[in-house]
């Protein structure tokens, strides 16, 4: 992997940056959603509601260990245009209330009993994705800059 022009983990740790997550439905139609996340232990972690009679395509992908695509980006031209794009397998995880809380605390202004109840609810599942392949790029001044790419997890920005 060529060195990214910005610190990828620090970027992913910035509060309130959502992730755009893509997968396919059971009928192979594209599905895209903005999600809250936390980047820890070389994975991106999500907490997704179970959607009644219409299964979430993201949870279905995690159950089947299918690939998902994730992009975390800023777009405040001309000076702050950064992107990290990743693909890799998703998987369901054991509920970890401390991790779920860390996800939500990145986005909500104050932890409350209502958020604690939501985090603990069986109506949402914890899942993660391993960013096995991806790229990181910044465009300060909207100029062309080197793109950092990796094609396996060992080469990626989370391998250190």
Tokens of 21: 């997550």
Give me the pLDDT at residue 47, please. Answer: 96
Q: What is the model's pTM?
A: 0.90
Helix (H, G, I), strand (E, B) or coil at 43: strand
What are the CA-CA distances from residue 61 to residues 15, 53, 64, 120 (Å)?
A: 26, 16, 5, 22
Helix (H, G, I), strand (E, B) or coil at 52: coil
Q: Are 40 and 106 in contact (CB under 8 A)?
A: no
pLDDT in tens, 37-69: 999 999 999 999 887 777 799 999 999 999 999
pLDDT in tens, 1-48: 556 677 889 999 999 999 999 999 888 999 999 999 999 999 999 999
């Amino acid at each position: 992997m060529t060195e990214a022009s910005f610190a990828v983990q620090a970027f992913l740790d910035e509060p309130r940056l959502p992730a755009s997550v893509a997968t396919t439905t059971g009928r192979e139609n594209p599905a895209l959603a903005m999600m809250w996340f936390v980047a820890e232990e070389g994975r991106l972690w999500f907490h997704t509601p179970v959607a009644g009679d219409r299964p979430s395509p993201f949870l279905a992908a995690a159950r089947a260990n299918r690939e998902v695509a994730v992009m975390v980006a800023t777009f405040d031209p001309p000076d702050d245009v950064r992107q990290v794009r990743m693909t890799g397998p998703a998987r369901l995880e054991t509920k970890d209330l401390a991790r779920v809380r860390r996800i939500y605390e990145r986005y909500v202004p104050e932890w409350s009993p209502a958020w604690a109840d939501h985090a603990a609810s069986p109506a949402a599942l914890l899942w993660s994705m391993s960013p096995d392949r991806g790229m990181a790029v910044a465009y300060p001044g909207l100029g062309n800059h080197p793109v950092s790419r990796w094609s396996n997890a060992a080469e990626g920005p989370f391998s250190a």
